[in-house]
Structure 1
């Protein structure tokens, strides 16, 4: 494309023609249902494809965008707005994955190989239609975004670019259902339709991959093992699901696979990123479990790429950032030089300061990793506490005894100047427990000068028995652990634990204090749990001792961005 004066992007100039329940044949003969929104005019246009298991018809539900947590907020309406793109000269196609909505076939567990293959088949079918110019992109966020990556890895010839934002579970184990080896039950609500995705899946023929592919005797043993796990048994609805898996075949499969291995590797798109050959605009919020997958995918891709990180997941139906997506696709699908590829590759938003910044790479090239040591009397300091070897302690009762989350807290003195933290906080700490396992939850918070406190800015989890590091998986942007096997803890033994928290970009203002909390439980009814994707907790009382002295220099490591 010629460089020079930048061209104005596509402007609205067409009406919208809709074709509902068009069936596209997959390579195995299964018919996949799509809705096609296209310009009501002659000619050939590029097409954008959005795929999910949520039901295509709800994606155009006509409600004003709602903030997270409101009464009619619906997290699954994430395909994007056809009424924005079609008038600007794009065909917009929203489809049901096989076995969901109006599509035929069988949905065999989350992210089966068929999902990428089916998407590739639809791409090539679209390219053959008389109203398409043969240039296809993909659209939508969260599940829609991860599917873009699976489809791109299949390398359909007419897929020319993708725009995966809010990537979910590029690594289905650690970035999906077992953060730090600790099971979260996000898929309980997502599939069945409880908060925040009340619609849930649109199941037509959803089956358990484990029930389909595991010999009956082995399956029976796996189910009995899960039923005997006291951590799962303490939740009646998880016990119920293990007994009646048809209610939620997806979460059933996850509960039978508590270790990383072939089940997750086959369904993790991070292992296929090297097959992606088309330009990619990666983006999404520095929020919840989206932030780390986005960073991992962006840094792994070896194609023309861009990176955009904003502060939160925003509103639903998803109608935000459409102008930016349009700039991307105008450039790659229409040949309009919008200037998007002349800009710095990384752009990110910092909360509190409410500012956008540009960078060449992630982690940010100016990052200064800064240690804050855990000290006695609950202080967090640049200097270690060398002389007080008495540990800090907390005892966590199980949920059926108490709904109080025990914890230890450490705070800096009031800051003398603003401190911008951009990246993934890490913690190295030394701990002993009186059991053979526990879960550690780590939170970083901003403690205002009025001591009121707010929700955690960044959180991380680590199951003690998964403390072993895996150097082959460790990168400049993530700490790797070995989740293929567990090593029980010797009660009373002091062990080193290294945990990574979810990435953030946040400015702690002068006069505020940085707060670190270590606990071991998520309580669904506790507003401080913050994240609706809460984690399965330990089922027995456990004493935790946190050591922080000259021999055991426990510390928080923050990615600080110097001023200027």
Structure 2
């Protein structure tokens, strides 16, 4: 008898990111042959006596199997809700449903373990905020508990997206003996930069208030400094006029005991980089990670999401079997997260079941090129990159040639605080239509000569693909910088500027400075007739639901300055402001992915 290959493997379709040159032993790949049984509210005890409540999903009738641990502070019960995959536009969309596709893996012979962490849901103990050091130690204990259970064959991996992904390297660095591999689908290397991109504060982390169902919350700052010091820090933080004018922040900073939105209190108390953030940052512990790591992210138009996986891959301290994939965009996001099921299966079958799926034969990087296809690369930035400067010019132009004249008047805009205006002023610069398509794949940075009339300010920059009809499509293209955070030239590399975010050095008003701003890396083909547009502004509120008051703090995005600020942007021969772009002139044909054909296969 014969079946289509996809049907034989228990798949709806063959994944577009499998390559026929490297994918092997498909006949041995785990297949959906088991029913799923949920064992609810199993209690386990941590080393200090604290008990965690856990849900366990097991394949019915299977012998001891490898286990996948899905860990976050979002609560275990919701991860198993049966309602189908839901897109962001649905009123029921919940970004905390990130544990992954439970039935997919359990039916293929994996045990799925989802605990309520300490102080979350039904579990005992105090919740000290996301990724805290206590949480990292707790995961060690849970992994070793899992490995000792009768339903586990002693091989444990970690699985999940976003929170479930970010925590994985932090846990792996603790080196639990029975952890055999991880696959962070969405990853952060520098947690300060995640919350204060380029030193610019945002309200992004305010979402954890509703996402983490804590039954006993406490800010980590209390554990770090004690109550008296935290009281002083809260009082001092309210002296910042950008914070004091915001009633959402004032509520958090004037509540005692400080159990109202404890994690965002920690966030507000640490506007500069330091030990608090380093305790949650993967780039502090790479040398301690010994298990195989598959890093993945999507090309995201907001936040600092794509840069971290590339910096991690380039860090020689992460000296373990590793691969990187960027195989999707956020436009197709649905939760529960299922987008990479087949790639995850190849990874876990390789390291937890000993099936050589060929995934380690592939080149290090597998990248989806927007407006094109998927291909492999051997390094990042690409060795064949031609670095091109796209200069800011007068009349809002972007040009490949620099301005020949000096002493030209600058462009400018005025930041108006949201306490006095709803205007969000900005400058835009646009290319002419591209006569031929161009590919830009790699890191991007903006060199901007500017002055401000205050001692500090936010620079927010965005890149857009402008279609012939004038509509704009956001690239994975967001960058930010606090003017007072100095550039560290020695640590910076081309396309990846590094700033000292542990200090804030006041800017001299009116002084022209060169600001080097990281813009998220990308991989995109700009078609013929399209244009690139650069946008420079001081804040970027979320336009969704702007007419409503519910959740306004989340729509704030960047925390706006409360000072009216005049920005001047210089772009003459003495001050050549430009975007540094990674143009890829050609790609060898063997780097492009060669898909597997869904043909008929014989089976017994």
Shorter-normalised TM range: over 0.9
Partner of 1:213: 224
Partner of 1:319: 338
| CA–CA separation in structure 2 for the residues paired with 1:281 and 1:438 | 38
Partner of 1:506: 524
65, 69, 77: which is aligned to 1:45?
Answer: 65
Q: Deviations over 1:465-504 (max 9, x none)?
A: 11x1124543456321001111111111101100001222
Q: How has the CA–CA distance of structure 1 residues 239 and 427 changed in structure 2, closer, same or farther, with 3 Å as cutoff?
A: same
| CA–CA separation in structure 1 for the residues paired with 2:89 and 2:488 | 37
Q: How has the CA–CA distance of structure 1 residues 259 and 201 changed in structure 2, closer, same or farther, with 3 Å as cutoff?
A: same
Partner of 1:333: 352
2:219 is the alignment partner of 1:161:
no
Aligned partner of residue 324 in structure 1, secondary structure:
helix
| CA–CA separation in structure 1 for the residues paired with 2:180 and 2:44 | 20
| CA–CA separation in structure 1 for the residues paired with 2:226 and 2:53 | 32
CA deviation after TM superposition for structure 1 residue 294, in Å? 2.1
CA deviation after TM superposition for structure 1 residue 5, in Å? 6.0
2:300 is the alignment partner of 1:298:
no
262, 283, 289: which is aligned to 2:275?
Answer: 262
| CA–CA separation in structure 2 for the residues paired with 1:551 and 1:472 | 24
**Does the 8 Å CA contact 2:73/2:130 hold for their aligned counterparts?**
no
Higher mean alpha-carbon deviation, 23-32 vs 211-220, is at 211-220
Residues 186-197 of structure 1 aligned to structure 2 (within 5 Å):
186-189=204-207, 191-193=208-210
CA deviation after TM superposition for structure 1 residue 532, in Å? 5.8
| CA–CA separation in structure 1 for the residues paired with 2:513 and 2:146 | 56
2:258 is the alignment partner of 1:238:
no
CA deviation after TM superposition for structure 1 residue 453, in Å? 2.5
CA deviation after TM superposition for structure 1 residue 4, in Å? 11
**Does the 8 Å CA contact 2:140/2:176 hold for their aligned counterparts?**
yes
2:164 is the alignment partner of 1:144:
yes
Q: Deviations over 1:520-551 (max 9, x none)?
A: 1122447999x968110111211100011111
Residues 368-379 of structure 1 aligned to structure 2 (within 5 Å):
368-379=386-397
Higher mean alpha-carbon deviation, 238-247 vs 483-492, is at 238-247
TM-score, structure 1 as length reference: 0.93
Partner of 1:271: 284
555, 564, 567: which is aligned to 1:541?
Answer: 564
550, 557, 560: which is aligned to 2:573?
Answer: 550
Structure 2: which 5+ runs fail to align? 1-21, 547-551, 588-604
2:462 is the alignment partner of 1:462:
no
Aligned partner of residue 108 in structure 1, secondary structure:
coil
251, 254, 262: which is aligned to 2:264?
Answer: 251
Q: Deviations over 1:69-104 (max 9, x none)?
A: 432211110101221111111111111221112221
CA deviation after TM superposition for structure 1 residue 562, in Å? 1.9
Q: Deviations over 1:7-53 (max 9, x none)?
A: 42111111222211111221111112221111111521111101110
**Does the 8 Å CA contact 2:463/2:474 hold for their aligned counterparts?**
no
| CA–CA separation in structure 1 for the residues paired with 2:23 and 2:466 | 49
**Does the 8 Å CA contact 1:45/1:132 hold for their aligned counterparts?**
yes
2:35 is the alignment partner of 1:24:
no
CA deviation after TM superposition for structure 1 residue 511, in Å? 0.8
Q: How has the CA–CA distance of structure 1 residues 27 and 474 changed in structure 2, closer, same or farther, with 3 Å as cutoff?
A: farther
| CA–CA separation in structure 2 for the residues paired with 1:178 and 1:192 | 18
| CA–CA separation in structure 1 for the residues paired with 2:41 and 2:490 | 46
Higher mean alpha-carbon deviation, 228-237 vs 451-460, is at 451-460
Partner of 1:307: 324
Aligned partner of residue 40 in structure 2, secondary structure:
strand
| CA–CA separation in structure 1 for the residues paired with 2:370 and 2:432 | 21
**Does the 8 Å CA contact 2:38/2:58 hold for their aligned counterparts?**
yes
| CA–CA separation in structure 2 for the residues paired with 1:382 and 1:476 | 19
Q: How has the CA–CA distance of structure 1 residues 99 and 408 changed in structure 2, closer, same or farther, with 3 Å as cutoff?
A: same
Partner of 2:293: 280
**Does the 8 Å CA contact 1:397/1:542 hold for their aligned counterparts?**
yes
| CA–CA separation in structure 1 for the residues paired with 2:23 and 2:113 | 33
CA deviation after TM superposition for structure 1 residue 55, in Å? 0.3
Structure 1: which 5+ runs fail to align? 194-199
Aligned partner of residue 335 in structure 1, secondary structure:
coil
**Does the 8 Å CA contact 2:454/2:565 hold for their aligned counterparts?**
yes
**Does the 8 Å CA contact 1:426/1:556 hold for their aligned counterparts?**
yes
Partner of 1:201: 212
- Give the number of the structure with larger relative contact order, counting CA–CA contacts within 8 Å between residues 6 or more apart: 2
| CA–CA separation in structure 2 for the residues paired with 1:551 and 1:279 | 49
CA deviation after TM superposition for structure 1 residue 516, in Å? 0.7
| CA–CA separation in structure 1 for the residues paired with 2:559 and 2:502 | 19
Higher mean alpha-carbon deviation, 378-387 vs 359-368, is at 359-368
Q: How has the CA–CA distance of structure 1 residues 395 and 158 changed in structure 2, closer, same or farther, with 3 Å as cutoff?
A: same
Q: How has the CA–CA distance of structure 1 residues 519 and 456 changed in structure 2, closer, same or farther, with 3 Å as cutoff?
A: farther
Q: CA RMSD in A?
A: 2.0
CA deviation after TM superposition for structure 1 residue 215, in Å? 4.1
